[in-house]
Amino acid sequence: MRSLSATPSEAYPMEDMTSPDDSPRLIDGFGRAVTYLRVSVTDRCDLRCVYCMAEHMTFLPKAQVLTLEELDRLASTFVDLGVRKLRLTGGEPLVRKGIMELVENLSRHLKSGALDELTLTTNGTQLAQHADRLAALGVKRINVSLDTLKPDLFRRLTRGGDVAKVIGGIDAALAAGIQVKINAVALKRDNAAELPGLIQWAHARGCDMTLIETMPLGEIDEDRTDQFLSLRDVRRELSSYWTLTDLAYATGGPARYAKVEETGGRLGFITPLSHNFCEACNRVRLTCTGTLHTCLGRDDASDLRAVLRGGATDGELVAAIHAAIGSKPKGHDFQVDAPRPAVARHMSTTGG
Ligand code: SAM
Ligand code: SF4
């Protein structure tokens, strides 16, 4: 892992770190401003999705995982440095003990106007219990992962999950006034034929829908090449009976959006294996152990937990973050048909 001794001025010149209004900014070595932080708050989960985890996962010892206070300090430092959007993920964020306390504490940045958005990505199983509180704390949109509406298939894909709980969670979030985006991983053998129905179901509820190509992250029990479904093919198929109109809407991430004229809903395609989004990439990821990954598709890593637990002052922490951001790579390294995963860590460690 990268050592973080570089001072901000060694990482890049001081004038590059400052916006016109003199607020500090995180600019990487390729001139991209980092304004979006995803924070994995736990590596644990109540499901074991086949493309994400091995059936018998070994989870991290608690001492290695950042405390709620450490998560708050790190996330808040990024906000001070110009991050405008914070997404909590995991593992499953809603199984982390004390998660609502963390959301409540972080919501102070929404109130102060420092943050535009506080959001999370969840599997939805615990959402029904938390939806009202999340809405009250200022969470306006969330992503819920749902690959199928079929109870048997859902149970098999998640190794034991109950799809009714997820649907109940989605309905509770919508009733609380939270916008929900449904994310589905496109799986050639398992849900390819169901995708149009899933899209219609989401759009009928007023939810946007995003399809994700499987990514080669971490060793799992299955062969991923076997399940890989190109979203180019999915789009071609959908276009044979629907009118898809490209939207300019861009998030700085790997999603491209279209409007489905027949349903009136928005449909995103996340194709992380293509390089077409790296240029505008505005995001970095923090694992639950405090490792900062500046690119989802590379093994680059900076250990911010060591900095925190080494007793760093606020200034030293800021310097360490600037040094890490300064070495964000230009682009990723994915190849789905490679014999080994391009990146050894699991998605549940990095956060989706
Ligand atoms: N547990 C939460 C959930 O499932 O939404 C948040 C974490 S999960 C790792 C985030 C997203 O990553 C989910 O939408 C999941 O489907 C997706 N994901 C996990 N492993 C993946 C893989 N190998 N390729 C593509 N997407 C993956
Ligand atoms: Fe858990 Fe999300 Fe991974 Fe599924 S995708 S095992 S719900 S972390």
Give the pLDDT of residue 328: 75
Picking from 4-18, 75-89, 143-157, 311-325, which range would have the lowest pLDDT averaged per residue?
Answer: 4-18
Ligand nearest to the CA of 297: 1
Q: How many CB atoms lie within 10 A of CB 69?
A: 12
Residue 1 pLDDT class (50, 70, 90 cuts): low
Question: How would residue 217 be classed by pLDDT, with cut points 50, 70 and 90?
Answer: low
Confidence bin at 9 (pLDDT 50/70/90): very low
Q: What is the pLDDT of residue 345?
A: 61
Please tell me the distance from the alpha carbon of residue 70 to that of residue 308, in angstroms, as a whole number.
Answer: 8
- Evaluate if residue 45 carries a pLDDT over 90: yes
What pLDDT shows up at residue 31? 85
* Most confident segment among 127-141, 270-284, 314-328: 127-141
Q: pLDDT, tens digit, for every residue of 160-192?
A: 999 999 999 999 999 999 999 999 999 999 999
Locus of tokens 């209004």:
21
Q: Which residue has the higher pLDDT, 12 or 213?
A: 213
234 contacts: CB under 8 Å, gap ≥ 6: 186, 192, 195, 211, 269
207 is in an annotated binding site: no
The yes-or-no verdict on residue 342 having pLDDT over 80 is no
Q: Where are the domains of the chain?
A: 2-181+279-350
Residue 218 has pLDDT above 90, yes or no: no
Confirm or reject: Cβ of 45 under 6 Å from ligand 1: yes
- 92 ligand 1 Cβ < 6 A: yes
pLDDT at 15: 32
Q: Is the model's pLDDT at 305 over the cut of 50?
A: yes
Give the DSSP H/E element, type plus range, for residue 268: strand 265-270
Distance CA 213, CA 310 (A): 39
pLDDT of residue 161: 98
How many Å apart are CA 249 and CA 241, to the nearest integer? 23
| Ligand 2 atom nearest 125 alpha carbon | 7
Q: Is the CB of 123 under 6 A from ligand 2?
A: yes
Does the annotation list 89 as a binding residue?
Answer: no
Distance between CA atoms of 1 and 239, rounded to whole angstroms? 45
**Rounded-to-integer distance, Cα 130 and Cα 94, Å:** 8
Q: What is the pLDDT of residues 123-163, one digit of tens each?
A: 999 999 999 999 999 999 999 999 999 999 999 999 999 99
End-to-end CA distance of the chain: 21
Does any ligand 2 atom lie closer than 6 A to the CB of residue 157?
no
Task: Give the residue from 171, 43, 139 showing the smallest Cα distance to 96.
Answer: 43
Tell me if 43 CB under 6 Å of ligand 2. no
The domain over range 2-181+279-350 is classified in CATH as 3.20.20.70: yes
- Is residue 62 scored above 80 in pLDDT? yes
Mean pLDDT over each residue of the chain, to the nearest integer: 87
Report helix, strand or coil for 121.
Answer: strand
- Would you say residue 247 has pLDDT above 50? yes
- Higher pLDDT pick, 259 / 221: 259
For the stretch 70-80, pLDDT in tens is 999 999 999 99
DSSP secondary structure code for residue 67 in this structure:
P
For residue 76, the tally of other CB atoms under 10 A from its CB is 18
- The DSSP secondary-structure symbol of 30 reads T
Q: From the CA of 215, how far away is ligand 1's center (Å)?
A: 9
Q: How far is the CA of 10 from the centre of ligand 1 (A)?
A: 36
215 touches ligand 1 (CB under 6 Å): yes
CA-based torsion, 250, 251, 253, 256: positive or negative: negative
Region 218-235: mean pLDDT is 79
